[in-house]
Amino acid sequence: MNSKVKVKEKFQISTIFYLAIVLFVSYFTYFRGYEYPNKLFWDENYHIASAYKYLDNTFFMEMHPPLGKLFIALGEKIYHPNDNLDLSSVKYKSKIKIIPKKFSFKGLRFFPALFAFLSAGLFFILTYLLIGNAHLSFLFSFFYLLDNALIVHSRGAMLDGMQIFFILLSLVYFTYLFSLKKQKSVTQYFLIGFLISIAASIKATSLILLICPFFMFCSDFTNFKENHGFISRSFYTELSLKILTFFSGFLLIILFSYFIHYSVASEVRDGKTYKVSKKFLELVETKQVAKILNLPITIKESVKYFLNYQKGVPTLKPGSEFENGSHPIFWPFGKKAINYRWEKVSQQKIKYLMLQINPIVWSCGFIGLLLSFVIFIGHFVFNIHWECRKTFSFISYFFISYVCYMVVMLRIDRVMYLYHYFIPLLFSLFLFFLSLKMLFLNSWKRYDRVLYFSITTLLISTLICYWYFSPMTYYKPINIAEFMSRNWFDIWQYRIIYY
Amino acid sequence: MRGQKIFLAFSCLTLFFTILNVIKLPEKNIIDAKFFKYSKLPLLTNKNKNSKKTLDYSYPNINFPLAQLLQHQNLKIVPIKENFRAEFTGDVRVLKDTEIEIIVKSDDGFRFIIDKKVIIQDPNLRKFIEVEKKFKLTEGSHKYMIDYFQAKGDAGLIIRYKAKNQKKYSYWGDSSGYLLFNNGK
């Protein structure tokens, strides 16, 4: 065995070892005890109601695509811990108000928590593919592992934990493909479309990933030109085919998830028809919806419902004390911390479950955004040629994706919440890692102690903040003074409690 | 190399800021507060009838500016929204016999008691306007109680004081040259 192979093997072993540690820590921060609190919080009352409709084959229409809720229902189907309970307050409801005593969330929260737990591994792999340093990737993974806001939201029976998993999976595959210095095959385009569509079938905000294929086309264009010196007609023919296969892969899962939705949720109950057209209702009642021939009307009705639903969502009321939403411009700073639920345990102690950010993680994301902006502007305005072209391409990808996502959010009229920033937060964290690599390229290569010491110091701060805010992440009792002392910045707007 | 040093300085400052905020002790509050929730108008005359004690808390001083809710200037905590009564109690040590001038602004009613003697009161629905009173305090320790109620609408309670020879008013709860709160501890 020559020395090169030995180094490679050792390197792979260390990478797998790091991956194992990341998953081990993730189990404790994301997965362990996910069924607690055994009370509803935030949007669980909608998603669990939807999951039970799947289990009871009740027809319903909902704003979000069906795949995420199908996973929630699948978890309940696997564990079925509530079979012996009177579920009359849960079944056939649009929104659950009361849950029965001894109701268990073990099945309903299983898949969201599982995917969030596994996302840590993907975060590590993606960081490794981006920066090419296993040790630093391992250290950077703690930004995902210890972010209180991501943890608290992902452990609920909600869609975001699952969505993030498939976004990271798509990005891992995209990063791998983008790093290849050759033309991407038609199959690879199909696969990336397939992966993106899984994320988009959970939550529509995943559509931001549609920027990926555009970058792949650009990469193919550059590679082709470098290899052939010109762009031939065959390139455009092949490109058209790739675009076609990408969208085939993309539509496949989205349509398939709606197909399952209408196959499972097929019985109209309590006269709830969700204002669908007569023709569509007939198809539902005769169980003809889930047929390829009826696809156009199915899509039309789903889009119509989505648009109507959006019209009904209230707008942001910034002055209102009870407003949980916040303007997207303030999301990078953690506005607004949402008090998901609270419970008085004694005269002095109260339990809070709160969407509270880890300020160190979010600050690093914001700094990453600023650094990448400087790098980006430096290249395009001041014509600075950065040493590492591949890293610059990734910075461009994440920066453009971040800006596009936020521009869309800023144009939405309805009220939006802090957790809608999770996707751009991940982008901004990758920008932070890539910008550091770009700025400290020489230190990066020679394992400079100062750099490692600085990153480790940041991680210690992250760990302290995680521990400090964890009572509000895991619903543990604290007194009011302790609670208010955690309101470091007025912008977080801690919610006052009333009795 | 300069970039690395800046990054190192940033990391160390972040750690310093984090530790500073985490170990920060909650402000020492010396006025104990007990809140009682009522189902209807909680006049000070019908104390404890149909009331439910909801929360114990403490405040550094009596400075609750007029707002939609009773909210301390610094702490921003409102245990109850409406129809409640609050008892603020504590000790004050007078260093030398003196005459105290007190100014109370309260919405709604209040009763200011020292050593079980009512000094000034208006136990009715009222607006946030000033009332003042002069009274003598002897050297030594005294127990005080501020009884307050809030029905509906705006709420606020500000109590300021000064000794005869003093020019500036202090909030009740903030020690000055003549009065030391919480026995001056």
The model's pLDDT over A212-269, given as tens digits with 9 standing for 90+, comes to: 999 988 888 888 887 777 777 888 888 889 999 999 999 988 888 888 888 888 888 8
Distance CA A57, CA A63 (A): 18
pLDDT of A387 over the 80 cut: no
In A313-421, alpha helices (H): 359-380, 389-411
Chain B residues with CB under 8 Å of a chain A CB are: 3-5, 7-8, 10-12, 14-15, 17-19, 21-22, 24, 26, 29, 35, 37, 53-58, 68-69, 71, 75-81
């521990």: which residue's tokens?
A: A467
Q: Are residues A265 and A163 in the same domain?
A: yes
Q: How far is CA A412 from the centre of its chain?
A: 19
Q: Are residues A164 and A260 in the same domain?
A: yes
Of chain A, the percentage scoring pLDDT greater than 90 comes to 50
Q: Are residues A165 and A98 in the same domain?
A: no
Residue in B2, B4, B29 to test binding to A, most A beta-carbons within 10 Å: B4
DSSP label at B82?
S
Compute the nearest-CA separation of B58 from chain A (Å). 9
The reply to whether A257 falls in a domain is: yes
Q: What is the pLDDT of residue A115?
A: 96
Task: State the average pLDDT for chain B.
Answer: 83
Distance CA B103, CA A412 (A): 50
The reply to whether B117 falls in a domain is: yes
Among partner residues A439, A443, A497, which is closest to B79 by beta-carbon distance? A497
The reply to whether B7 falls in a domain is: no
Query: Which stretch, A7-21, A163-177, A239-253, A372-386, has highest mean pLDDT?
Result: A163-177
The reply to whether B156 falls in a domain is: yes
Residue in B10, B22, B57, B71 to test binding to A, most A beta-carbons within 10 Å: B22
The reply to whether B14 falls in a domain is: no
> In the A/B pair of chains, how many CB contacts fall below 8 A?
87
Q: B5–A450: do the CB atoms touch at under 8 Å? A: yes
Q: Are residues A184 and A252 in the same domain?
A: yes
Q: For the ranges A212-216, A297-301, A427-431, which has the lowest average pLDDT? A: A297-301
Please name the residue of chain B whose CA is at the shortest distance from the CA of residue A479. B57
Among partner residues A436, A461, A497, which is closest to B14 by beta-carbon distance? A461
Bridging pattern class, strands B63-67 and B155-163: antiparallel
The reply to whether B10 falls in a domain is: no
- pLDDT tens digits for A37-67? 989 999 899 999 999 999 988 888 888 889 9
In a 3-state reduction of DSSP, which class is residue B14? helix
Using a CB-CB distance cutoff of 8 angstroms, which residues of chain A are in contact with residue B12? 454, 457
Distance CA A353, CA A342 (A): 6
pLDDT band for position B185 (cuts 50, 70, 90): very low
- pLDDT tens digits for A87-112? 888 887 788 888 898 899 999 999 99
Nearest to A480 by CA among B69, B20, B58, B64: B58
Q: Which of A239, A270, A301 is at the close of a domain?
A: A270
Nearest to B93 by CA among B19, B4, B151, B179: B179
Q: How far is CA B143 from the centre of its chain?
A: 15
pLDDT of A138 over the 90 cut: yes
The reply to whether B17 falls in a domain is: no
Q: A496–B37: do the CB atoms touch at under 8 Å? A: no
Q: What is the pLDDT of residue B1?
A: 64
Q: B11–A497: do the CB atoms touch at under 8 Å? A: no
Task: State the average pLDDT for chain A.
Answer: 88
Q: A436–B56: do the CB atoms touch at under 8 Å? A: no
Q: What is the pLDDT of residue A348?
A: 65
Please name the residue of chain B whose CA is at the shortest distance from the CA of residue A360. B14
Please report, in angstroms and rounded to a whole number, the separation of the first and last CA atoms in chain B. 52
Please name the residue of chain B whose CA is at the shortest distance from the CA of residue A461. B15
Mean pLDDT to the nearest integer, A449-467: 92
What residues are paired with A315 via a beta bridge? A414
Please name the residue of chain A whose CA is at the shortest distance from the CA of residue B37. A499
Please name the residue of chain A whose CA is at the shortest distance from the CA of residue B10. A454
What residues are paired with B135 via a beta bridge? B100
pLDDT of A25 over the 80 cut: yes
* Structural contact between residues A148 and A356, judged by C-beta atoms closer than 8 angstroms: yes
pLDDT band for position B183 (cuts 50, 70, 90): very low
Among partner residues B4, B18, B26, which is closest to A443 by beta-carbon distance? B4
Nearest to B43 by CA among B170, B168, B150: B150
- pLDDT tens digits for B134-174? 999 998 889 999 999 888 888 999 999 998 888 889 899 88
Q: Residue B136 maps to which CATH number? A: 2.60.120.1560
* Structural contact between residues A350 and A483, judged by C-beta atoms closer than 8 angstroms: yes
Q: Which of A109, A125, A140 is at the close of a domain?
A: A109
Structural domains of chain B, count:
1
Q: A454–B8: do the CB atoms touch at under 8 Å? A: yes
Q: Which of A243, A270, A297 is at the close of a domain?
A: A270
The reply to whether B151 falls in a domain is: yes
Mean pLDDT to the nearest integer, A144-157: 95
Enclosing domain of residue B52: 28-184
Structural domains of chain A, count:
2
Q: For the ranges A110-114, A163-167, A228-232, B118-122, which has the lowest average pLDDT? A: A228-232
Enclosing domain of residue A209: 159-270
Higher-confidence residue of A322 and A150: namely A150
pLDDT of A153 over the 50 cut: yes
Using a CB-CB distance cutoff of 8 angstroms, which residues of chain B are in contact with residue A436? 7
Q: Are residues A172 and A254 in the same domain?
A: yes
* Structural contact between residues A360 and A432, judged by C-beta atoms closer than 8 angstroms: no
Using a CB-CB distance cutoff of 8 angstroms, which residues of chain B are in contact with residue A488? 21
Using a CB-CB distance cutoff of 8 angstroms, which residues of chain A are in contact with residue B78? 496-498
Q: A454–B7: do the CB atoms touch at under 8 Å? A: yes
What residues are paired with A351 via a beta bridge? A343, A477
